[in-house]
Amino acid sequence: MKRMNAAPWVLLGNLVLFAEDTAPAQLANTKIAFQSDRDGNWEIYVMNSDGSNQTNLTNNPADDVYSDWSPDGSKIAFASDRDGNYEIYVMNSDGTNQTRITNNSADDNRPSWSPDGMRIAFESDRTGNYEILVMDADGTNPSNLTNNPAIEINPHYSPDGTMIEFASYRGGLPDIFVMNVDGTNVRQLTYGLWTGQAAWSPDGFKIAYSYDRYVAVMNADGTNQTIVLTLSCCPGPSVGSWSHDGNKIVFGTDRLDGNWEIYLMNADGSSLSKLTNDLAFDDDPSWSPFLFGSITIAVSLSPSSGDGTFDYTLDFTNLTDSSQTIDIWTEVVDPRGIRREDQVVYGRTLLGGRSYSRTTTKQLGDNKPQGEYAFTAYVGTYPDEVMDSSSATYTKTSLEKGSLTEGKEIPKVFEVSDNYPNPFNPSTTIEYGLPQDTYVRLEVYNVLGERVSVLSDGLQDAGYHSVVFEPEGLLSGMYFYRLQAGNFVETKKLIILR
């Protein structure tokens, strides 16, 4: 096999001896899971990204190791030998509901979630030597991807879910390989480096890894291999993962103060800081995939009582400096205590430091009972991971239906108005009418037929509705919005101007 030329190597990081910064950079509201034997055996811990609030999640006398967050941050997969050999377990991110999902006499280890949360890759010696396997997230349908007599370990899904990075001894020493998620098209990225663990950058363009006494970063195709941190001696550090914004890397090493601790640095190797500080062995850090509590939401209704017509306002704020993509969903509980989903908006991108406000006019039909209606809005990853929520109540005082505007009643047929303004920048309003309560899905597509946004998805009341579309991240050009309400479907054209 052709050996890579040494020319791509670039030395950026300075030699590190036994000194480091003592003030970690603040990445508010993110969490880092890691393994530690500070309680006498290996356990899975979690801490804030500044090293504070270190908490034991597993609390089991067996050894629990190698944690990995689910894409929505609601669960953590890990390996444990509590049943006599290492198996893959899954627990809630607060440590509850610890559940074994593999049941094999061999050792199953080092789980890695797929970006869609549907699959888990892991290493296993159930075939006689360690191979890379994948299974459904509930442990069913395991399959061997590598089928090679060499040792294959440490799998990690690429952020787009199309590839898996892993380490293999098929060249004699452990090197980094990538393959398609079905096990085809295996490519070797490093040669004879005795590599340790590796981690994809959040955009999938780079891979950080360790070997000997170095932390290095390379392009995802193996080019431009760059040393960013040089330690005083070997063995090398254990690269954990990148921060959600791609600016920092967290890793474990014993080369700085004599025992294994968790450290944080910029992706270029600068601003090194220590997150853990105890005499135990702390290693294998894994960063949460999003910011906990970084988006706030508030609901207000005006008026708060009346004949059934009111303005429903959602105010939400991105408290971080970077863009966040989240889901927004609402529900209502009527005076009889019946709860139903009101609306879901998928994949909303909020720019860093920005506040947003959206107001729609709602109408409770004449068939809706009098009394108090409780409306709740959630922000996070639908439907399980909630970053923030807010509630408000509306009291319907009359059985007569309200009106949205003077003389405007419930439409007799489904209606979709042309968006206004059109062309537009930065936002446009889409209005539609529903003659009956029905499930509504409003989507936006580009000229290639690719869906670029979901504006509404849920059961809605009869009446007139409006949605504001603010196409952040989309280029100028023609797009189409498509309303499906029951069996009714209509598509209209809109134009973005930048």
What pLDDT, on the 0 to 100 scale, is given for residue 71?
A: 85
Domain boundary among the residues 408, 436, 451 is at 408
Q: What is the chain's mean pLDDT, rounded?
A: 85
- Please give the Cα distance from 130 to 81 (Å, whole number): 17
Domain limits at 343?
Answer: 296-408
Range in 232-236, 367-371, 425-429 the model is least confident about: 232-236
Structure tokens at 205: 């363009």
Check whether 30 has a pLDDT greater than 60.
yes
Do 311 and 333 lie in a common domain? yes
Q: Is residue 4 part of a domain?
A: no
Q: Is residue 3 part of a domain?
A: no
Q: Is residue 79 part of a domain?
A: yes
Q: Is residue 1 part of a domain?
A: no
Cis geometry, peptide bond prior to residue 423 (ω within 30 degrees of 0): yes
CATH number at residue 478: 2.60.40.1930
Do 339 and 439 lie in a common domain? no
Q: CA end-to-end span of the chain, whole Å?
A: 50
For 204-223, what is the mean pLDDT?
Answer: 93
Check whether 414 has a pLDDT greater than 90.
yes
Do 108 and 247 lie in a common domain? yes
Confidence of residue 349 (pLDDT cuts 50, 70, 90): confident
- Please give the Cα distance from 26 to 273 (Å, whole number): 11
CATH number at residue 319: 2.60.40.3880
Domain boundary among the residues 375, 408, 441 is at 408
Q: Are strands 10-11 and 226-230 parallel, antiparallel or unpaired?
A: parallel
Do 384 and 423 lie in a common domain? no
Check whether 231 has a pLDDT greater than 90.
no
For 375-397, what is the mean pLDDT?
Answer: 84
Within a 13 Å sphere around the CA of 406, how many CA atoms are in the beta-carbon half? 0
Do 420 and 453 lie in a common domain? yes
What pLDDT, on the 0 to 100 scale, is given for residue 468?
A: 84
Q: Which residue has the higher pLDDT, 290 or 453?
A: 453
What pLDDT, on the 0 to 100 scale, is given for residue 301?
A: 92
Check whether 407 has a pLDDT greater than 90.
no
Do 104 and 170 lie in a common domain? yes
Do 351 and 458 lie in a common domain? no
Domain boundary among the residues 287, 309, 329 is at 287
Confidence of residue 473 (pLDDT cuts 50, 70, 90): confident
Do 386 and 432 lie in a common domain? no
Do 16 and 155 lie in a common domain? yes
Q: Is residue 383 part of a domain?
A: yes
Q: Is residue 82 part of a domain?
A: yes
Q: Is residue 2 part of a domain?
A: no
Check whether 345 has a pLDDT greater than 90.
no
CA 420 from chain center: how many Å? Answer: 34
Do 361 and 247 lie in a common domain? no
For 280-291, what is the mean pLDDT?
Answer: 87
Check whether 289 has a pLDDT greater than 90.
no
Check whether 295 has a pLDDT greater than 50.
yes
Closest residue by Cα to residue 125 from 154, 139, 105, 98: 105
321: amino acid identity, one letter: D
Confidence of residue 114 (pLDDT cuts 50, 70, 90): very high
Range in 80-89, 226-235, 265-274 the model is least confident about: 226-235
Count the domains in the chain.
3
What pLDDT, on the 0 to 100 scale, is given for residue 320?
A: 66
Q: Is residue 269 part of a domain?
A: yes
Range in 333-337, 390-394, 395-399, 484-488 the model is least confident about: 395-399
Check whether 20 has a pLDDT greater than 50.
no
- Segment 44-59, tens digit of pLDDT: 999 988 898 899 999 9
pTM for the model: 0.61
Do 70 and 192 lie in a common domain? yes
Do 180 and 230 lie in a common domain? yes
